């Protein structure tokens, strides 16, 4: 028997389960053990010399338990520290063989397992979900050829063009080093000093200060690969590619006031939203899209396609939707999965390769380097959440936290003792081969002239925004730059964004106490890209949450009709009242309260419905909490519905003068500024249909000029 055969038949190659069967080892899964499998008699008291004496060093269970606890925290990620993950699967719509030989993109019947981690970039693990920030959207595909990681953000561009500046932008945006303030925020001097000193940030700043940076949900935000990659097919033809995730629920956001309040009321808002959606069977879905360019088209554009501060406008280079991802399973253990998962843009499979994007080139080094530190050594790939489903055969041995027990005497290549096992695979056998590209040039530290246009796409973005979105960007500048202490930096922000749009610069100056620019400038770009505006997204009421305000004496037939219709259309309903417990209707029937005003707020819902019933409404109109609930929902541009006597709560609220001019008084339906009312109605079907239509709009931004007169 030769060496290879002896290795294959060694008892050590058996699984742990098989070995336990051989040695007749049996354990009761309900019994507490040490990490060595020893049953523990007590875990409440340490071993002492007398009941009040000192703890004895020989108490191995005490030492193991405390030592493990002391070492349970690992270094948090430098960026993307706060994250939340879920499992799912991906299916391609049709074979992509024309463009790439990647096997997971060939067979529409094949489901490829995935794990996705969403994250915020700047804050620590303990920061809030709803801060203004870029969101990470990283996907690990467990393919038959090995793991493929698509490391994406919810914004398609980045702050910088060259990865050598990555430490600078992160140091600038993190809390200031002298006092570790502020947490998870760009609203401070060091960040804006970096911005005005680095004009290439202009485009990213426009996205960061837009609604994109405060998404309504992980389920309602796009993902972008940011960098330019290559697809390569079996014939060796290469195309440049950019990756997109498109949520089937559309792209929707919070408003800033709402985001700030949620950070205090429910800092886990996005985590809870994703967990609850999957737990209830409302599985988030995203379509994978690609923008493709032939290599001969590389220089056909007024921007450099390798510049990570630029988009490829979808109107010029359409997004081809090639498959769908469904997230259908929550994690079993947050630390073991979400915290220990390791993504790396260098984890690719045959058919996907890199471009000369200078930001991407740096990421290929940095991601691996940080994982070696954070996860304790080179064997982080053996952690279950990172482990490939493809077999692993190589000569890499030892190191911290090694899980594999390698056998045999050879750990080098080439070798004759083990028949040169494992052998390299040829390209025809599936071996990865980098795309052959001729590269020549002098060694220089300089940037291509094609990367030096800093403002044209920032202007394109501004031109693409709706009136409401522009107003939100201006308000964001007022908050962010208004928080800067240095007056010179404020003025430099105004002067910098005068290169984007002079009206924007004037509006910024007005809000931050700076001087408007002496000479209007702008980049001269007049084009727009409708695809970047959220006003043009999918609108769907499904999975939205409606707060129902009611008290004892509510109208049971009316309320239950509305609830049943909403739930039948995938809309979640929750009854909100002054106190938790059971409410009794005017005819003696009962419903359970979901939340009271202490445990929730309008900021946690997409719409508000006020149930009828004279006694119920008489109680609501004298409650400051219920009036605030309605006023705040109106200020945040959410759909509001009221039926029968419920309309009286609107009449008692601050929105009477701005939204109630056409309110229903007879058995008629009226919709005004996203407020839907009906009176003297028993059949609620027409009302419910109109209310769902209002909910599906997400927000009613044309209220913007009314919100100042609503106290909330």
In the set 7, 61, 147, 153, the catalytic residue is: 153
Say how far apart CA 217 and CA 421 lie, in whole Å: 49
DSSP per position, 697-709: T---GGGGGGGGG
Token representation of residue 491 = 């003025």
Cα 594 to its chain centre, rounded Å, is 27
Verify whether residue 153 is a known catalytic residue.
Answer: yes
**Strand locations in 572-648, DSSP E?**
572-577, 582-584, 590-592, 595-596, 607-610, 639-643
Is 80 noted as a catalytic residue in this protein?
yes
SS3 letters across 201-255:
HHHHHHHHCCHHHCECCHHHCCEECCCCEEEECCCCCEEEEEEEEEECCCCCECC
Three-class HEC string of 8-41: HHCHHHCCHHHHHHHCCCCCCCCCCECCCCCECC
Which H helix or E strand runs over 142?
A: strand 135-143
Taking each helix axis from N to C terminus, what angle separates 487-497 and 467-482, rounded to the nearest 10 degrees? 150
114 DSSP β-pair partners:
88, 141
Say how many C-beta atoms besides its own lie within 10 A of residue 708's C-beta: 9
Q: Tokens standing for 499? A: 């290169």
Q: Is 108 helix (H, G, I), strand (E, B) or coil?
A: coil
Measured at the alpha carbon of residue 64, what is the angle toward residues 63 and 65, in degrees to the nearest 5? 95
CB-based burial label for 258 (10 Å; 0-12, 13-18, 19+): buried
Active-site residue identified among 80, 203, 252, 698? 80
Tokens 């002391």, residue? 70
Give the CA distances from residue 382 to residues 140, 374, 385, 399, in Å, rounded to whole numbers and listed in that order.
15, 14, 8, 12
Largest CA distance in the chain: 95
Q: Are 578 and 629 in contact (CB under 8 A)?
A: no
Please check whether residue 488 is in contact with residue 188, taking contact to mean a CB–CB distance below 8 angstroms.
Answer: no
Q: How many CB atoms lie within 10 A of CB 523?
A: 19
Cα 185 from chain centroid (whole Å): 17
Structure tokens that stand for 129 in this block: 């979900």
- Residue 700 near residue 694 (C-beta atoms within 8 A): yes
Q: Which of 432, 343, 352, 350 is nearest to 386 (CA)?
A: 343
If you count them, how many residues does the chain have?
A: 712
Token readout for 12 is: 């050590």
Which of the 8 DSSP states describes residue 582? E
Residue 346 to residues 114, 139, 244, 350, 434, Cα–Cα distance (Å): 17, 13, 18, 12, 12
Query: What's the CA gap between 243 and 538, in Å, rounded?
Result: 19
Residue 474 token pair: 């201006």
Would strands 675-678 and 669-672 be described as parallel, antiparallel, or unpaired?
antiparallel
Cα-Cα-Cα-Cα dihedral sign, residues 165, 218, 702, 712? negative
Structure-token match 């195309």, residue found: 239
Separation CA 613–CA 117 (nearest Å) = 46
- Return d(Cα 40, Cα 684) in angstroms, integer: 62
Identify whether the C-beta of residue 694 lies closer than 8 Å to the C-beta of residue 639: yes
Q: Cα separation of 456 and 522, whole Å?
A: 9
CA distance 207 to 121: 14
Question: Which residues are known catalytic residues?
Answer: 80, 153
């Amino acid at each position: 028997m030769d060496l290879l055969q002896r290795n294959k038949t060694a008892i050590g190659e058996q699984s742990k389960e098989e070995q336990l069967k051989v040695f007749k080892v049996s354990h009761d899964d309900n019994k507490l053990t040490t990490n060595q499998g020893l049953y523990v008699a007590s875990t409440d008291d340490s071993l002492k010399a007398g009941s009040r004496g000192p703890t004895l060093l020989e108490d191995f269970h005490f030492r193991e338990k405390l030592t493990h606890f002391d070492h349970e925290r690992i270094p948090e990620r430098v960026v993307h520290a706060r994250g939340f993950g879920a499992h799912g699967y991906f299916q391609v719509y049709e074979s992509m063989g024309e463009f790439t030989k990647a096997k997971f993109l060939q067979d529409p019947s094949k489901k490829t397992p995935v794990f996705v981690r969403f994250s915020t970039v700047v804050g620590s693990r303990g920061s809030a979900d709803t801060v203004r920030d870029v969101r990470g959207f990283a996907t690990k595909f467990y393919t038959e050829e090995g793991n493929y990681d698509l490391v994406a953000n919810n914004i398609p561009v980045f702050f910088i063009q060259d990865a050598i500046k990555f430490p600078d932008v992160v140091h600038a945006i993190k809390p200031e080093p002298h006092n570790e303030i502020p947490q998870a925020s760009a609203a401070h001097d060091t960040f804006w000093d970096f911005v005005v000193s680095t004009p290439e940030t202009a485009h990213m700043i426009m996205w960061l200060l837009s609604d994109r940076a405060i998404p309504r949900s992980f389920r309602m935000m796009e993902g972008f690969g940011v960098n330019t990659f290559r697809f390569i097919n079996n014939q060796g033809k290469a195309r440049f590619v950019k990756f997109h995730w498109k949520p089937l629920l559309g792209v929707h956001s919070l408003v800033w006031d709402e985001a700030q309040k949620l950070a205090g009321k429910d800092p886990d808002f996005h985590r809870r939203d994703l967990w609850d959606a999957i737990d209830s069977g409302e599985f988030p879905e995203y379509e994978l899209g690609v923008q493709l360019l032939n290599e001969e088209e590389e220089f056909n554009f007024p921007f450099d396609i390798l510049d990570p501060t630029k988009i490829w406008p979808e109107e010029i280079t359409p997004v081809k939707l090639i498959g769908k991802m469904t997230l259908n399973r929550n994690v079993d253990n947050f630390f073991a999965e979400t915290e220990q998962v390791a993504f790396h843009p260098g984890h690719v499979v045959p058919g996907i390769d890199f471009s000369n994007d200078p930001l991407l080139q740096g990421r290929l080094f940095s991601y691996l380097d940080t994982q070696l530190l954070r996860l304790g050594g080179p064997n982080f790939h053996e952690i279950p959440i990172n482990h490939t489903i493809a077999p692993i055969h190589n000569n890499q041995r030892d190191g911290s936290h090694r899980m594999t027990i390698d056998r045999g005497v050879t750990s080098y290549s080439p070798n004759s003792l083990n028949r040169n096992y494992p052998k390299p695979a040829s390209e025809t056998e599936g071996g990865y081969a980098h795309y052959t590209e001729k590269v020549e040039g002098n060694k220089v530290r300089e940037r291509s002239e094609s990367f030096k246009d800093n403002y044209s796409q920032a202007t394109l973005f501004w031109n693409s925004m709706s009136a409401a979105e522009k107003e939100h960007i201006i308000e964001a500048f007022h908050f962010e730059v208004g928080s800067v202490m240095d007056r010179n930096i404020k003025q430099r922000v105004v002067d910098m964004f005068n290169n984007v749009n002079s009206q924007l610069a004037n509006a910024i100056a007005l809000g931050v106490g700076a001087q408007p620019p002496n000479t209007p400038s702008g980049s001269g770009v007049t084009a727009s890209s409708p695809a970047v505006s959220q006003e043009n997204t999918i609108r769907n009421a499904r999975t939205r949450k409606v707060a129902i305000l009611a008290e004892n004496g509510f109208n049971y037939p009316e309320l239950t009709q509305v609830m049943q219709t909403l739930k039948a259309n995938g809309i979640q309903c929750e009854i909100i009242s002054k106190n938790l417990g059971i409410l009794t209707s005017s005819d003696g029937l009962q419903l359970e309260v979901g939340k009271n005003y202490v445990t929730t707020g309008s900021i946690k819902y997409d719409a508000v419905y006020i149930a009828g019933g004279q006694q119920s409404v008489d109680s609501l109109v004298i409650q400051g909490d219920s009036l605030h609930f309605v006023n705040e929902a109106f200020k945040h541009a959410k759909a509001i519905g009221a039926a029968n006597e419920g309309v009286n709560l609107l009449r008692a609220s601050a929105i009477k003068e701005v939204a109630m001019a056409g309110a229903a008084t007879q058995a008629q339906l009226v919709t005004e500024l996203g407020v839907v009312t009906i009176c003297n109605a028993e059949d609620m079907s027409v009302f419910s249909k109109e209310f769902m239509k209002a909910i599906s709009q997400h927000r009613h931004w044309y209220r913007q000029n009314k919100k100042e007169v609503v106290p909330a």
